[in-house]
Amino acid sequence: VAPFESMERRDLFQPGFKYRFKFEALVSSGLIVPGSQQAAMRSKSLVTLSFPDTETLAYLRIEKIHFAALQKEMKPMDLEPFKLFDQLDINEDQIRQLRLPLRFRYENGLVSEIEFDREDSEWSENIKRVYL
């Protein structure tokens, strides 16, 4: 992999374009010790990044959001299939908040100046930080 500085300009995000990604995440908690209680949460969604005017000011929006949980011992670094997890029901207000866009600055590979919608809640903002 080439260092960021040597990448050509065409490899960076461009103004006027939208970029869509399938995003899957796994967050687990508990000690990796036999017999200890462990829990994990999976999420998957479609994420859109848009750079309307410049390559440094961007918007993030999450769609097709799914969450699932699992209460069992897992091997470290294993990404268990989503179908093994119990689907979590998300109400309409929670989906609405997760779909609120956020704005951020992206320069030299760094994210800064994150601005959330004024209707967003802390739990939703924290999930969106994972996406960034």
126 Cβ contact list (under 8 Å, min separation 6)? none
pLDDT (0 to 100) of residue 36: 67
Strand, coil or helix: what is 9? helix
pLDDT tens-digit readout, 92-123: 999 999 999 999 999 888 999 999 999 999 99
Domain count, the chain: 1
Task: Please say if the pLDDT value at position 82 is more than 70.
Answer: yes
Task: Please say if the pLDDT value at position 4 is more than 60.
Answer: no
The CATH number given to whatever domain includes residue 68 is 2.30.230.10
Least confident residue range of 12-26, 50-64, 65-79: 65-79
Calculate mean pLDDT across residues 82-100.
Answer: 91
Query: Whole-prediction pTM value?
Result: 0.76
Range of the domain at 14: 4-131
24 or 28, greater pLDDT: 24
